[in-house]
């Protein structure tokens, strides 16, 4: 099935949900503008899920990438306890065994690149705003523990990775984590060696058309 045909159902379901969602009428905005505001606000939030799906599906078009989502990435006590004891560079080279779990993370996208034998884990953000200091600390912590456990995790996923990297994608360019631990949309084609950005923008364009059509009907 072509890429866009795999993406359209999740976009269509999102539009259907937005169209049927209940909203509170603001006494200043009135019914029409209250509903418009509610739909647009919800569309921003739901777009993150579309971005994740579109990115994963775009890489399924590549013959060098294996891609999946990991809903229960196990974080060990040892990984959590080591935070704050090393420099950033030291975390990159620290390898911890995967298996023990005191908590779990959802990894939006796991990618094994057969060209360079590297397993990469990605958290995907829209990247059109800034997080507060507490959220940034939490993101950094999860990034570090993922990095330390990732290569060992690869063995459980039947991936013989020579290297492992954890990264965050801030798609629209507002980085809350600096390079080299973050990527933005315009860097994805070069990063993956595949026209990922072009395909995701095709999905975004379809979402925008459907969203604008919904707003025009109100």
CA distance 119 to 70: 13
Neighbours of 193 (CB within 10 A): 13
- What percent of the chain is predicted at pLDDT more than 70? 99
Give yes or no for a contact between 73 and 146, defined as CB atoms under 8 angstroms apart: yes
pLDDT tens-digit series, residues 136-177: 999 999 999 999 999 999 999 999 899 999 999 999 999 999
CA distance 48 to 207: 12
pLDDT tens-digit series, residues 167-181: 999 999 999 999 999
pLDDT tens-digit series, residues 23-70: 899 999 999 999 999 999 999 999 999 999 999 999 999 999 999 999
Is 89's pLDDT higher than 80? no
Give yes or no for a contact between 145 and 164, defined as CB atoms under 8 angstroms apart: no
Neighbours of 216 (CB within 10 A): 7
């Amino acid at each position: 099935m072509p890429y866009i045909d795999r993406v359209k159902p999740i976009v269509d379901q999102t539009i259907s949900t937005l169209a049927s969602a209940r909203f509170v009428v603001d006494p200043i905005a009135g019914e029409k503008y209250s509903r418009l505001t509610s739909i647009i606000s919800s569309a921003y939030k739901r777009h993150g899920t579309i971005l994740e799906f579109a990115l994963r599906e775009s890489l399924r078009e590549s013959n060098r990438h294996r891609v999946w989502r990991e809903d229960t990435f196990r974080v060990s006590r040892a990984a959590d306890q080591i935070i704050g004891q090393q420099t950033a560079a030291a975390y990159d080279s620290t390898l911890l065994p995967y298996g023990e779990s005191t908590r779990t993370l959802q990894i939006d996208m796991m990618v094994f690149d057969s060209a360079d034998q590297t397993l990469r884990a990605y958290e995907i953000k829209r990247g059109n705003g800034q997080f507060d200091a507490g959220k940034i600390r939490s993101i950094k912590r999860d990034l570090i523990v993922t990095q330390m456990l990732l290569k060992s995790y690869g063995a459980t996923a039947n991936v013989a990775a020579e290297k492992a990297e954890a990264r965050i994608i801030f798609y629209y360019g507002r980085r809350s984590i600096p390079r080299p631990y973050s990527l933005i949309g315009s860097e994805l084609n070069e990063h993956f060696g595949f026209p990922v950005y072009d395909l995701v923008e095709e999905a975004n364009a379809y979402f925008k058309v459907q969203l604008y059509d919904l707003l025009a009907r109100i």
